[in-house]
Amino acid sequence: MKKIHLLPIAFAFLTLISCDQDQQEETESEAPLQEEIGQIQKAYAPDGRVALFSVDAEKQEDGIILKGETNMLEALDSLKRRLRASEVTFVDSVRVLPDTAALESKIMGVVPISVANLRDEPKHSAQLVTQVTLGMPLKVLKREGGWYYVQAPDGYLAWVDYGGIQNMTTAEFTNWLAAEKLIFTDTFGESVEAARPGSAMVGDLVAGDILQLEGENGGFYEVSYPNSKKAFIQKSQAKPYKDWLASLDQTEESLVKTSEKLMGLPYLWGGTSSKGVDCSGFTKTVYFMNGFVLPRDASQQVHAGKLVDSTRNFKNLEPGDLLFFGRPATDSTSERVVHVGMWIGNDHFVHSMGEVHISNFDSTATDFDEYNYNRYLRSKRLLNEDRDLMLNLKDEKLFVQDSVR
């Protein structure tokens, strides 16, 4: 019988255990407090698209150093309270945004061009994640070269280049807010140098652009841009902002009418303007032109409003309801919402997929949209429902100092 030497095997086994323990201790040493930081992030910043909590801990001989950055001061304070309660010695080196000193106190901004592109990294080759239109106020958090990390009114965080923002101090922004405003209501247009037809163009305009109203000149409004450029806009294409807000019906019919004006717009990933829209950018634009600010993405919009259907009983739907599509949850995977459209009645909905067009859920019709029917998840009603996740411009001081009601 062949002899088996147990001592080398036992030694090797103990060595493996020792290595595993060393590796675990090394991992814990390199990244301490992961559980505590993860709990805070889950509680205060579960969606990184609208809240930044990029914090980690580094173990030193004399304690822990907290590093990173956040725009959620309350989250950082909560973490520090928890560490003190556990008698953990630490040094707080987390950068709290906005970085007022580095920004020279210009922690606000306003979009000075018809449409500004916002990207997920500070470079032009980075992915387009959203757009903001002329006159849109932005919170400025930090700067990297010619790029600014900003937060839009819908909460979305992204990078805009220097050409897409007019930086302002709080005092300068307050002065801009106090001025009378004008909203461009046509789908496309332009501002011109003089109050006469055929005058040279100052800049292109899209639906929802906001400018400062300076006065009237015949058939034109005189306006100024956030960067002080002067121009004129035909009265037939725009309205004083407060008059426009007061005139909004905010009804099912008005939502459908607005969607008709955007028919045929090309699909653009990250687009939220009449230069191009993705699916949620389309619904966002339709609602904005009716006085509402929706969350940015379909997977965020799905949490707004009241559930009206999840069984394909489309008789429950009313025009203006949002339909959501994607992959349902399973035992091993979570739900994934990837598309949104708007119901317009009679088994039809309008959405941006390739282009803005109408689809049919009548299974007997020749143009039945079987693909989207099969991936339908549920529908939500936003009009006259709980608006925790959406803003009504009639109640908000987004572009002016006083609300209209």
Task: Please report the pLDDT score of residue 17 as a whole number.
Answer: 46
Copy the structure tokens of residue 93.
Answer: 């080196």
Which residue stretches of the chain have pLDDT < 70? 1-31, 403-405
- How far apart are the C-alpha atoms of 56 and 331, rounded to whole Å? 32
Task: Please report the pLDDT score of residue 405 as a whole number.
Answer: 56
Task: Please report the pLDDT score of residue 387 as a whole number.
Answer: 77
Say if strands 63-70 and 90-92 run parallel, antiparallel, or are unpaired.
parallel
CA 384, 388, 391, 392 dihedral sign is positive
Name residues whose C-beta falls within 8 Å of residue 78's C-beta, 6 or more positions apart in sequence.
Answer: 40, 43, 44
- How far apart are the C-alpha atoms of 23 and 232, rounded to whole Å? 68
Question: Would you state the torsion angle of the CA atoms of residues 232, 236, 242, 245, taken in this order, to the nearest 10 degrees?
Answer: -140
Q: What number of CA atoms fall less than 13 Å from residue 260's CA on the CB side? A: 8
Peptide bond into 98 cis (omega under 30): yes
pLDDT single digits (tens) 336-374: 999 999 999 999 999 999 999 999 999 999 999 999 999
Task: Please report the pLDDT score of residue 356 as a whole number.
Answer: 98
Name residues whose C-beta falls within 8 Å of residue 51's C-beta, 6 or more positions apart in sequence.
Answer: 44, 45, 71, 72, 75, 155, 157
- Going along the chain from its start, the domains and CATH numbers come out as 28-96 (3.30.1340), 108-176 (2.30.30.40), 179-240 (2.30.30.40), 252-392 (3.90.1720.10)
Name residues whose C-beta falls within 8 Å of residue 131's C-beta, 6 or more positions apart in sequence.
Answer: 115, 116, 117, 118, 270, 271, 272, 273, 275, 281
**Is the CB of residue 53 less than 8 Å from the CB of residue 99?**
no
From the number of C-beta atoms within 10 Å of its C-beta (0-12, 13-18, 19+), residue 20 rates as: exposed
Name residues whose C-beta falls within 8 Å of residue 122's C-beta, 6 or more positions apart in sequence.
Answer: 144, 145, 147, 149, 159, 161
Closest CA to 111 of 139, 71, 143: 139
